[in-house]
Copies of this chain bind each other. A is one copy, B any other.
Amino acid sequence: MSFLHIDSESPFSLDNLPFGVFSTKEKPYIRAGVAVGRHVIDLSALHRHGVFQGRLSDHASVFDSTSLNAFAALGRPFNQSYRLFVRNLLLADNPVLRDNEELRQDAIYDLDKVQMHLPMVIGDYTDFYAGRNHAYNVGVLFRGPENALQPNYLHLPVGYHGRASSVQISGQPVYRPNGQICPGPAPILSPCRKLDMELEIAAFICTPNPQGAPIPIQKASDHIFGFVLMNDWSARDIQAWEYVPLGPFNSKNFATTITPWVVLADAMEPFRVKAPDAPTGLLPYLTQDCNGAYDIDLTVDLRISGETHRLSRSNALHLCFSFEQMIAHHTITGCPLKTGDLFGSGTISGKEKDSLGSLLEMTLNGKEEMRLGSVSRTFLEDHDEVILNGAAGASGARVGFGPCIGRILPAKSL
């Protein structure tokens, strides 16, 4: 129990305490904070007031930074120590923050009064394709059920390099991209006509590895800083025309939205489960002896003219490769990971019609319209707002991300 009120349905329970960077009207510089209930604890202010002790005090200047990279670079055990310290500080019987009115004034903010910023400087962003049902559904759409999964799919976590510069945070608008599409005999330049979303979770890297030094799968979890929810916006018509033979490019590079609060890997650890669809007989460098998946409930809502429609309810356990497997595969060649690198999971679809992670799957590539109250949709229309949510754990102890929101604005005229 905390001395601060925490709603039992809050994704930011005492068991979570995600880290982010924020600014306020009165203090417009960016610094690090922790979210708890409807509050933000200013870690930079805690440091200024001398609240951190010993080793934790020595390194607490990382919280004055405009990103979490320096904090993440301290490594996962250190990150966890800070999380547990803040947890202790918030307990009902700890007077340090509770009874220091000056410190409370300086270090506690209302969550809805702060301005959040991109939590990490992202060097490289890789998007994987580990949602087996998604890969299968897309394969069926384009190649039929016989050849739905490519021959490599169950042997390695398929992925591609994405565009780091266009990663943005929840709440920032998404302009409908213009691009080259080919609906007829010759290509045209047009605002995207098949604008889609993808429900994903994503991991940030903390400890880097040197070029030429693969990360063995047994050590991979040491390199995971934490998790966010991610919407990998996708222009399906641009993608269809461009992606053979070198993969998605312009169809994915205009925007990718993540939640601003990073749930530390150790906070998510209690929710490990075995992935029911995990492939068997993997090569040793990808063989993981512990549970690789997470039991995280996920939802997709679509807000149209003020009305919210539930499109989907899925779960992260549908990912058939773990982030440890992604790290081991990504680095098996010697590829260096850096602090702040982002790994997207791939779209997370369940097996049922109401558990899909993209409109591509929900509408069979636009062939089946969805009825939503008085309106209908195949792909996203201007002013539509997509809201992802995700949380693990029971009421009163939720470990969640907060909403991942993006609203579509009309394409810029060229």
Contacts and interface: CB of A to CB of B under 8 A. Distances in A.
A159 B412 contact: no
A180 interface: yes
A366 interface: no
A31 B3 CA distance: 53
B283 A253 contact: no
A225 B179 CA distance: 25
A168 B180 CA distance: 33
A248 B248 CA distance: 11
Contacts of A182: 151-152, 155
Most B C-beta atoms less than 10 A away, residue of A168, A211, A285: A211
Given A155-B182, A166-B211, 9 more contacts: A123-B165, A150-B245, A152-B244, A160-B249, A161-B253, A180-B332, A189-B332, A250-B333, A253-B335
A247 B245 contact: yes
Contacts of A246: 129, 158-160, 243, 247-248
Nearest to A335: B253
In this complex, the member of A216, A246, A338 whose beta carbon has the largest number of chain B beta carbons within 10 angstroms is A246
Contacts of A332: 177-180, 189, 250, 414
Interface in A91-134: 123-124, 126, 129
A161 B161 contact: yes
B179 A333 contact: yes
A175 interface: yes
Interface stretch (A42-50, A234-242, A306-314): A234-242
Contacts of A165: 123-124, 211, 335-338, 341
A320 to B, nearest CB: 16
A164 interface: yes
A235 B126 CA distance: 19
A188 interface: yes
A163 interface: yes
A66 B333 CA distance: 28
Given A213-B412, A247-B246, A189 B285 contact: yes
Nearest to A155: B187
A18 interface: no
A214 interface: yes
Given A164-B123, A248-B247, A334 B188 contact: no
A212 interface: yes
A244 to B, nearest CB: 6
A83 interface: no
26 contacts: A123-B165, A126-B249, A129-B246, A152-B187, A152-B241, A155-B187, A156-B180, A158-B242, A158-B245, A158-B249, A160-B246, A160-B247, A161-B162, A161-B249, A161-B253, A164-B164, A166-B335, A175-B212, A178-B214, A180-B332, A187-B283, A189-B283, A189-B284, A211-B254, A214-B412, A245-B247
A124 B285 contact: no
Contact of A168 (B164, B211, B238, B283): B211
Pairs A-B, 6 closest by C-beta atoms: A247-B247, A177-B333, A254-B333, A161-B161, A160-B246, A253-B335
A249 to B, nearest CB: 6
A407 interface: no
A413 to B, nearest CB: 11
A318 interface: no
Interface string A64-84: 000000000000000000000
